[in-house]
Amino acid sequence: MIVLSLDIGGTHLRIGAIDQCGTVLKFEKLPTASVIHSDHVLSNLSDFLRSFSAGLSVDGITIGFPATLDRSRRVVVQAPNIPFMENLPVCDYLQKEFSVPVFAERDVTFSLLYDVEKYQLPKEGMICGIYFGTGIGNAILLDGKPLTGRHGTAGELGHIPVPGCGIPCVCGNEGCMEAFAGGKALVRLQKALYPDTPVGEIFTRHRHDRPLLEVFDGMAVSVATEVNILDPDYILLGGGVLNMSDFPRSVLEELIIKHVRKPLPCRDLNLIFTEDEPEKSVLGGAVYARRNLEDGHVS
Ligand SMILES: [Zn+2]
């Protein structure tokens, strides 16, 4: 079984051809603009997939989006970083073109599925993934299945409102957590307070400064909020921010413990820091497709 697994981001697109054992047969990371280069988004995508998969016998296609998807996981509802994908019948179109099942999910769900396999966590129970990148990605697995909610928008931890924080958010609201405690907050701090420090060195030089400590506290509040509501079996933390040079994981962990409800679940938290890997999302996408294909969930 070979799955074509795509991760379409605002800047880069990743694609892998992955076999039954999870081996990457072929992988490419390229600028999204080099693939989606005209108004004919779906035919651009189809042409690219056809050329990438030439000579391969593909059994399924899976696509991860940094976006809100509808509950049926067929259409991108809102995608501030890839607005060209909004409200297009991408799954149905590609399914017709390639005559194989096509699945879509949020990219963060794919990252979590990959990490769950990597750390050999049990499929039963509740596992939360919180990934701090430009925004705050959040996925929740219940017995191995992504929690979608009524409209498909469950797990939007980054958009929890922070009282007193009026910073506009990409979602249209003001004062969302991810404007306060994600990569965007770091970029804002760097511009305002540390113009001579490259963003990549912000923790190395300034991790003890109060403005940074406030960002760490905001991140910890995000995690503690989810933990206090859901009491999950495992909490996986990752993303670009946590994997930046000299990010103080122990400080974040202490702050999470400070905010989580006592005595339980605080006394028995299963907190796992995950590594960033370039092929993570496409490998997780392949896990998702394989499970759906094996379960016979063919849309
Ligand atoms: Zn928001």
pLDDT at 299 over 60: no
**Residue 107 CA, ligand 1 centroid: distance in Å:** 18
**Residue 155 CA, ligand 1 centroid: distance in Å:** 12
Confidence bin at 212 (pLDDT 50/70/90) = very high
Confidence bin at 179 (pLDDT 50/70/90) = confident
Do 120-273 and 3-106 have the same topology in CATH? yes
Q: Which of 10, 6, 83 is nearest to 45 (CA)?
A: 6
Task: Tell me the mean pLDDT in the region 150-177.
Answer: 92
- Element spanning 41, H or E: helix 41-52
Q: Domain coordinates of the chain in residue numbers?
A: 3-106, 120-273
pLDDT of 12 reads 93
**Residue 249 CA, ligand 1 centroid: distance in Å:** 25
**Residue 166 CA, ligand 1 centroid: distance in Å:** 11
What topology is assigned to 3-106 in CATH?
Answer: Nucleotidyltransferase; domain 5 (3.30.420)
Q: What percent of the chain has pLDDT over 90?
A: 89
CATH architecture, domain defined by 120-273: 2-Layer Sandwich (3.30)
**Residue 135 CA, ligand 1 centroid: distance in Å:** 9
pLDDT of 118 reads 96
Report the alpha-carbon distance of residue 283 to residue 277 in Å, rounded: 10
Judged by DSSP in three states, 202 sits in helix
**Residue 236 CA, ligand 1 centroid: distance in Å:** 22
**Residue 160 CA, ligand 1 centroid: distance in Å:** 7
Question: In b/e form, how buried is each residue of 40-50, taking b as 16+ CB within 10 angstroms?
Answer: ebbebbbebbe
Task: Tell me the mean pLDDT in the region 240-265.
Answer: 97
**Residue 222 CA, ligand 1 centroid: distance in Å:** 13
**Residue 196 CA, ligand 1 centroid: distance in Å:** 29
**Residue 105 CA, ligand 1 centroid: distance in Å:** 19
pLDDT in tens, 69-102: 999 999 999 898 899 999 999 999 999 999 999 9
pLDDT at 256 over 70: yes
**Residue 197 CA, ligand 1 centroid: distance in Å:** 28
Q: CB pairs under 8 A, 24+ apart, for 9-13?
A: 9/66, 9/81, 9/82, 9/107, 10/66, 10/81, 10/82
**Residue 164 CA, ligand 1 centroid: distance in Å:** 14
Q: How far is CA 38 from the centre of its chain?
A: 26
**Residue 66 CA, ligand 1 centroid: distance in Å:** 14
pLDDT in tens, 5-60: 999 998 999 999 999 999 999 999 999 999 999 999 999 999 999 999 999 999 99
**Residue 175 CA, ligand 1 centroid: distance in Å:** 7
For the chain, the average pLDDT equals: 95
Claim: this prediction has a pTM higher than 0.85: yes
**Residue 132 CA, ligand 1 centroid: distance in Å:** 14
**Residue 172 CA, ligand 1 centroid: distance in Å:** 6
Cis omega (within 30 of 0) for bond into 263:
yes
**Residue 73 CA, ligand 1 centroid: distance in Å:** 21
Cis omega (within 30 of 0) for bond into 122:
no
pLDDT at 291 over 80: yes
pLDDT of 298 reads 60
